[in-house]
Amino acid sequence: MKGIRSWYHLQWARKESSFEQEKIIYPFKSKENRFALDKDNSYFSADVYFFTIKEEFKSLISYPYLLTILNSKVYQTYMQAFLKKMGNSIYEYYPYRLLETYIFLDENYKTNEIFQWALKEVSIQFPLQVYEDGMLWEQSTMYHVEVLSYGLNLLQQAKFFDIELSNDIEESIKRLSTSLLLQITPQHTIEAYGDSDEVYALDILQRCAIILEDDKYLSLCNQELFESENLYYLQDEGAKKYLMMSKVNMSE
């Protein structure tokens, strides 16, 4: 009637340029904040939304920083205070409601007193708690895996945000990883010792291989199987890297 679109068109066509760019995507309905960075120019329609950073703000905020903020527990609590709640704890992440979100900016966070304290503390605690043989001072399988998991996350985030870590931190994480590898059984578990239960270790050894860039951690793994939980930690890029590493390792 108004000449906006032809009578046989069901809807307005989307511009390719809108999709073929770096962007943050998220589901319309979710129990929790599930924002993800899309670098693959993905296309989608119903129940998936996205947004980009305007050019005038790209010097103030990066996609990795924004993604970390939005997926934090603090921001989940903050955003769900004004998002529409549906049944079974599901929330509607409708775009116009997300516009109400304020983003915390700290251009000088690396010189922030709390940041500097945390960086110093982690530089002290990792070498202190990890023995030379790679065992954690707690002498517990479960705690060993948990500390290693946090250490791997630390290495990822430091690389993401260009944060310089002391060599002692990475060396401690490598010792934890190697110690775990040497304890793994043919069933991909670590026998219980200390105040712990038996621990399944295949998933975290795969993360060690990708993040530490060392395929020795795949030597006792089922290399054809990529643990689905690792998609959360490593994303699509990490999964592809794992498949490449495992193929090389198997051919040898």
Determine the angle formed by the axes of helices 230-251 and 141-160, rounding to 10 degrees: 90
Residue 156: the pLDDT is 87
Residue 252: the pLDDT is 44
Band of the pLDDT at 250, cuts 50, 70, 90?
Answer: very low
Residue 221: the pLDDT is 60
Whether 176 and 238 map to the same domain: the answer is yes
Whether 53 and 129 map to the same domain: the answer is no
Is 8 contained in some domain? no
From 35, 63, 98, give the residue that closes a domain. Answer: 98
Is 10 contained in some domain? no
CA distances from 19 to 39, 63, 111, 145 (A): 10, 16, 36, 39
Is 2 contained in some domain? no
From 41, 65, 98, give the residue that closes a domain. Answer: 98
pLDDT of 80 above 70: yes
Whether 154 and 186 map to the same domain: the answer is yes
Tens of pLDDT along 109-133?
778 888 889 899 999 999 999 999 9
CB 83 within 8 A of CB 92: yes
Residue 222: the pLDDT is 54
Band of the pLDDT at 27, cuts 50, 70, 90?
Answer: very high
Whether 84 and 180 map to the same domain: the answer is no
Q: Letter for the amino acid at 122?
A: V
Is 53 contained in some domain? yes
Residue 26: the pLDDT is 93
Whether 175 and 83 map to the same domain: the answer is no
CB 225 within 8 A of CB 170: no
Whether 121 and 76 map to the same domain: the answer is no
Average pLDDT rounded to a whole number, residues 147-152: 92
In sequence order, the β-bridge partners of residue 38 are: 23
Predicted TM-score (pTM) of the model is 0.63
Q: Which two tokens stand for residue 184?
A: 């793994």
Whether 117 and 166 map to the same domain: the answer is yes
Query: Would you give the distance in Å from CA 123 to the centre of its chain?
Result: 22
In sequence order, the β-bridge partners of residue 23 are: 38
| Residue span of the structural domain in which 60 resides | 16-98
What's the number of domains the chain is made of?
Answer: 2
Compute the Cα dihedral for 236, 237, 242, 247 and give only its sign: positive
Of residues 146 and 227, which shows the higher confidence score?
Answer: 146
Compute the Cα dihedral for 206, 24, 160, 145 and give only its sign: negative
